[in-house]
Amino acid sequence: MKALVLKRYGKPAQIEFANIPKPVIKANEILVQVYAVGLNPIDYMIAKGAFKPIIKLQLPVTMGSDLSGIVVGVGDSVTRFKLGDAIFASIFDLGTGALAEFAVVPESAAAIKPKNLDFVQAASIPMVALTSWQALKERAHLQPGQKVFIPAGAGGIGTFAIQLAKYLGAKVGTTTSTANVGLVQRLGADEVVDYKQQEFEDVLQGYDLVLGTIRGDGIEKSLRILKPKSKIVSLIGPPDVAFARSRGMNALMKLVFWLISSKIIRHAKNRDIEYSFMFVHPDGHQLTEIGKLLDSGHIHPVIDKVFPFNQTKEALAYLEEGRAKGKVVVKINDSDAL
């Protein structure tokens, strides 16, 4: 089968199409004929080697995490899926990839595709949806009436997280460029800062939660808009000791993460703010709940551009430019069926 394979980390990484054997499933897995794959920034970041200390991959490895498709093989112990089911899933951090004609998906990571979404739309959802769900609901326990700052509101995570936060009853602040102000307002943002005109820390105040999605000094600046007893859930780092423990890392890595996170944790504590780093994990049951929100129309996908499979490297380069409004998706199977 055809797959996009990472052969060597680097800048640029060695990424090539290759013909590889069709995967064989275990008892608790399903084999999926892949129809579409949603791209995420972590895809090109992994290829550059940015996550080598955290994610252990045996190169060469098939790239990609988010997928939608049809079940064509079922392991002996699988009970939730049958042949012919349309599913969507994230297989991030599971040692296998989605950018291929067929993919292995653990039963625990998959969910039935929402009926009102086509395969391209469904593939755009898993990682941004799970990240938003796990950060806002599980980690931060966002409550109705609370204020959450979600920077980069027009990006992949931003477009989903804004909608989920509004569904949870929160008030949302965000940043975006002048051209995208209308988009984030339509998604539900209550306070929108045009970063080309103003600094968010000079405009926003009294927030209960910051979802850290912007590299650089954005996390430290966000301390100024938070009130005491509030939280920062960072998706971009720095990783903390709790994360190192959760990954079973050795004492040296725990020390490294303590060192790189100590500054922001100290500054946060001085303001009575809780800082934590979060790494998304696949979860089919959470995706099932998210699918209900999509089926009901409470949340809808936002897709910037769709590329054919043979232009996946161009799609990754486009995503890395950082100008996409919503998600970038690769279409692998030309079927237009729901």
Q: What is the pLDDT along the chain (338 residues), one digit of tens a residue?
A: 999 999 999 988 899 999 999 999 999 999 999 999 999 999 999 999 989 889 989 999 999 999 999 999 999 999 999 999 999 999 999 999 999 999 999 999 999 999 999 999 999 999 999 999 999 999 999 999 999 999 999 999 999 999 999 999 999 999 999 999 999 999 999 999 999 999 999 999 999 999 999 877 889 999 999 999 999 999 998 999 999 999 999 999 999 999 999 999 999 999 999 999 999 999 999 999 999 999 999 999 999 999 999 999 999 999 999 989 999 999 998 765 55
The answer to the question of residue 283 being in a domain is no
| Whether residue 138 is found in the same domain as residue 263 | yes
Residue 93: which region, alpha, beta or left (left: phi > 0; alpha: psi -120 to 50)?
left
Question: CB of 241 within 8 A of CB of 254?
Answer: yes
Query: What pLDDT does 237 receive?
Result: 86
| Whether residue 197 is found in the same domain as residue 323 | no
Query: What pLDDT does 56 receive?
Result: 87
Query: What pLDDT does 218 receive?
Result: 87
Closest CA to 46 of 2, 120, 109, 97: 97
Q: How far apart are CA 336 and CA 338, in angstroms?
A: 7
CATH of the domain at 312: 3.90.180.10
User: What radius of gyration do the chain's Cα atoms show?
Assistant: 20
Query: What pLDDT does 11 receive?
Result: 87
Q: How far apart are CA 163 and CA 170, in angstroms?
A: 10
Query: Judging by beta carbons within 10 Å of its beta carbon (0-12, 13-18, 19+), is residue 54 exposed, middle or buried?
Result: middle
| Whether residue 101 is found in the same domain as residue 132 | no
Range of the domain at 167: 128-277
| Whether residue 136 is found in the same domain as residue 257 | yes
Q: State the distance between the two ends of the chain, measured CA to CA, in whole angstroms.
A: 24
Token duo for residue 25 = 């499933």
| Whether residue 181 is found in the same domain as residue 309 | no
Strand 102-106 versus strand 29-39 pairing type: antiparallel
| Whether residue 146 is found in the same domain as residue 89 | no
The answer to the question of residue 257 being in a domain is yes
The answer to the question of residue 26 being in a domain is yes
| Whether residue 145 is found in the same domain as residue 254 | yes
The answer to the question of residue 338 being in a domain is no
Domain count, the chain: 2
Phi, psi of 163 (to 5 degrees): -65, -40
Question: CB of 61 within 8 A of CB of 97?
Answer: yes
Query: What pLDDT does 336 receive?
Result: 53
